Amino acid sequence: MNFKDLSYKKKCQYLLGGALLLGVVAYMAAFNNTIRLYMENNVLEAKLERAAKAPSQVLVLESALEAIDDQLSYYIIDTLKNHETTLEIVSEFCFRNRLILKELPKKEVMEEEDFTIETSILSVEGNYKDLLRLVYELEQKHKIGRLSSVSFRLFKDNHLKKHILVLTIYIQNIRINNGDPIPGKSYEKI
C-alpha cells in the first residue's frame, strides 16, 4: 500500500484515526495525571478551609453543649436530689401546710444503654391553692427534677360527705450510667 496512491478521503480518515489515537495516548500520558491532581487539590483545599474554621466551630459546639448541660443539670440525679430528698421536701411541705400525703413516692425505673430515667410518683390531698404551691415549690424552688405530669382529681367521699382534691405528681430524674454524674462537666476539649 502506497500512501501516495490513496485518495484524499482515505488520507483524511487515516489522519483523523491517527489524531484520535494520539489524543488517547496524550490523555493517558499527561492529561490524566493533571486532572487527577487537580481533583485531589480541590479536595485538599476544601479540607484545609474546614480545618481553618474548626476552632471557631469547636467553640460554638462547646457553648451549645454547655447550654444543654445547664438545662439538663436540673434533671440529673446527684447525691442531693435523690428519692429520699424528694420525700423529705414533700412531707415537710405537707406538714407546714396541713396537706395529707396520700401515697409515699413510688419509684419507677426505665433503663437505657447510657442513662436511666427514674420517675417518682406521689399523691397529696388538700385544697387547690396549697397543692398548687406544692407544685411551684417542687418545680421552681427546690428543682428536684422535671415535673413531667401534674394531675388534679376531685373525689367525693360519701362517708364524710365532702369533696376531696388529690394531686398526683410525676417527677422524672436522669441518671447517667457511664459514671459521669453530670454530663459535660468532665468532657475533654477536642
- pLDDT tens, residue by residue, 49-71: 988 888 888 888 888 888 877 76
How many residues are recorded in the chain? 190
pLDDT tens readout for residues 108-124: 788 877 777 888 888 99
Other beta carbons within 10 angstroms of residue 110's beta carbon come to 10
Q: Are 166 and 102 in contact (CB under 8 A)?
A: yes
pLDDT at 189: 37
Provide the CB-side half-sphere exposure for 138 (13 A, CA). 33
pLDDT at 17: 92
pLDDT at 159: 87
Q: How far is residue 22 from each of residues 6, 10, 33, 34, 108, measured CA to CA in Å?
A: 22, 18, 17, 17, 79
Read off the C-alpha cell for 57. Answer: 466551630
Angle at 178 between CA 173 and CA 181, to 5 degrees: 50
pTM of the model: 0.54
